[in-house]
Amino acid sequence: MYDLIDSHCHIQMATFDKDRDEVIRRAKASGVTNMIVSGYDSISNHRALRLGYNCVFITLGLSPNMRVGENIDYIKDQIKDNADRIVAIGEIGLDRVKSKLPVEKQKKIFLEFLDLAEELKKPVVIHARESEVDVLNILKKYDLKCMFHCFSGNVKAMRAAQDNGYLISLSTMVCFSKKHQQLASKVDLENLVIESDSPFLSPKRGRNEPANVIYALKEIAVQRESEEKDVVNAVAENARRFFEI
């Protein structure tokens, strides 16, 4: 039996309301012993906090792909009020593809949450889409533990992140994306974690779920020409150390 951690998922979303218990049962049966459920706006943060599973840990944040009208101060208060219940702040970051906000506005919001993470001494879960260099330059001003969720940058950016001690989270996209398979072959094992990003990025048709990180594990082992158990041990230890779980 594996001892895997899904380092980033969204099983608080309504798409899981009818069968969330079964989803968690399947995760455990596949060897996923813990799941990190990440908030991305005020509503998803609230839904994450309502989950009552001892195998689930919570992060609260605000994605750069936020809905119009999100109240930044309200979300910061959500984080402060639940600081003892969360294992990180995130997802937060920059997105040059899907965000409706100008990049400079995204940066201002990102900085507010980085300041909060530094104040609360919490790690951060980073969303960076075609903005990895911008994010890395911003992070130079901070002394924070960082995980790049669903990393999709190039190898140069990945190595720059690793050089700063940051974690690279590869998603189930590695099962079908040549770019992510290349990243898997080159990432340093001591900087690697894996995620489903459920319900997105399924390696099979339909909704993704935490149980499917097993497929990411297998593909990463193939790309690295490594034993599965060596990858499992590394990614689980990296996640546990980062989130202090």
Question: What confidence category does residue 69 fall into, taking pLDDT thresholds of 50, 70 and 90?
Answer: confident
The residue-averaged pLDDT of 54-74 equals 95
pTM for this predicted structure: 0.97
Q: What is the tens place of the pLDDT at every residue in 8-38?
A: 999 999 999 999 999 999 999 999 999 999 9
The residue-averaged pLDDT of 103-116 equals 97
- How far is the C-alpha of 214 from the C-alpha of 98, rounded, in Å? 28
Domains and their CATH numbers in the chain: 4-243 (3.20.20.140)
Tokens 């260099």 found at: 133
- C-beta of residue 161 within 8 angstroms of C-beta of residue 136: yes
Specify the DSSP element, H or E, that contains 128. Answer: strand 124-129
* Strand ordering across the sheet containing 167-171: 4-9, 32-38, 56-60, 86-95, 124-129, 146-148, 167-171, 192-195
The residue-averaged pLDDT of 50-78 equals 96
Question: What confidence category does residue 143 fall into, taking pLDDT thresholds of 50, 70 and 90?
Answer: very high
Q: What is the tens place of the pLDDT at every residue in 154-188?
A: 999 999 999 999 999 999 999 999 999 999 999 99
Question: What confidence category does residue 68 fall into, taking pLDDT thresholds of 50, 70 and 90?
Answer: confident
- Calculate ∠ Cα 73-137-146, nearest 5°: 65
pLDDT of residue 67: 86
Alpha helices in the chain (DSSP H): 20-30, 42-49, 72-81, 103-120, 132-139, 155-163, 178-186, 213-224, 228-243
Measured N-to-C along each axis, helices 72-81 and 42-49 cross at an angle, to the nearest 10 degrees, of 20
Specify the DSSP element, H or E, that contains 174. Answer: none
CA 118 from chain centre, in angstroms, equals 19
